[in-house]
Amino acid sequence: MPFSTLPDVDGYHPLFDGASLAGWRAVPRIYGTVYPGGPSLLDYFDAHGLKRPVEPEAHPAHWFVEDGVLVGEQDAPGSGYGGYLVSEQAYGDFELVLEMRPDWPADTGVMLRRQRDSWEGFQVLVDHRPSGGIGGFFGNGLASFSAVPFAIDVARDASGAPTGLIADDPATSVEPVTEEKRARLSYAADVEDFLAAWRWDDWNELRIRCVGALPVISTWINGVQIAELDTATVVSPDYDAAAVLAVLGERGHLALEVHDNDEMFGEARWGKGAQCRWRNIRIKELGEARQ
């Protein structure tokens, strides 16, 4: 059946044709300021004794279509270099629905209101890795705020193979969830509700609702609400809602992520040969389109 951009009965338009990257463009990971008007992230790395990424602009992620599925992986696999797949079109208020199937470990996510040629934007986390948050939020270039309801880890069998998600243990977590991170959310699901809904080694539906100039962003996994964030009221060091709105405006691009590896997690961030997979990506714009 030929690909159609016409809306379905619920008003959703498809964003992926199942055969090509039409409507999307692959870009490397780039770094700007830590927050609007703040220092560059690379200078921040230097000041905190962290290793800088090595020429990330020369190593974009690899995005391709296989058997009707959109696949993202590091370029080259195991290299540690990630990137983004960015929508050509920008959106204001919308509901986005997609299905995802990340390997373990694979630190991915969906960016909203992303700038076309710089890294600022709100990210819905799909951190399918140790101490990862799924359905929570992060501010790329927006003071790096973290707003997450819980963190996850993986159970393993006797041979060490991963067998399913479990709750992260705060006592051993590399990146524990704090009450401060949870308090930034206006809704935060319990980890057990998420674990009951998540399908291990299978497809999971992510629904995102984004409404407002400084949007309220809500997330659901397989119909279970996970988190809600009012970006106008975020309280986090160096986060300035007015400055964020001035940078992002009321419309922005969507982006899918392949994360790079770093000193904190190494291959626990993105395993060698790991992939993220996406399908049935569709969007419904809400209200009058923002110009």
Q: Token match 């193979």: residue?
A: 161
Tokens at residue 172, please?
A: 């051993």
What whole-number distance in Å separates Cα of residue 194 and Cα of residue 205? 12
| Lowest-pLDDT choice from 49-53, 153-157, 199-203 | 49-53
- Predicted pLDDT of residue 6: 57
Residue 2 lies in a domain: no
Nearest to 216 by CA among 206, 225, 208: 208
pTM of the shown model: 0.94
Structural domain count of the chain: 1
- Residue 60 has what DSSP assignment? P
Q: What is the mean pLDDT of residues 43-72?
A: 85
Residue 148 lies in a domain: yes
Residue 124 lies in a domain: yes
On whether the CB atoms of residues 141 and 130 are closer than 8 A, the answer is: no
Residue 41 lies in a domain: yes
Tokens at residue 223, please?
A: 């119909």
Amino acid at 244: V
- Predicted pLDDT of residue 228: 98
What whole-number distance in Å separates Cα of residue 76 and Cα of residue 66? 17
| Lowest-pLDDT choice from 7-11, 27-31, 206-210, 254-258 | 7-11
Please, which pLDDT band fits residue 50 given cuts at 50, 70 and 90? Answer: confident
> What digits encode the pLDDT tens for the residues 245-285?
999 999 999 999 999 888 788 899 999 999 999 999 999 99
Q: What is the CATH number of the domain that holds 29?
A: 2.60.120.560
Residue 145 lies in a domain: yes
- Domain residues for the domain of 55 are 13-285
Residue 133 lies in a domain: yes
Residue 193 lies in a domain: yes
Residue 143 lies in a domain: yes
- Predicted pLDDT of residue 167: 98
- Stated as kind and residue range, the H or E segment containing 121 is strand 121-128
Mean pLDDT across the chain:
93
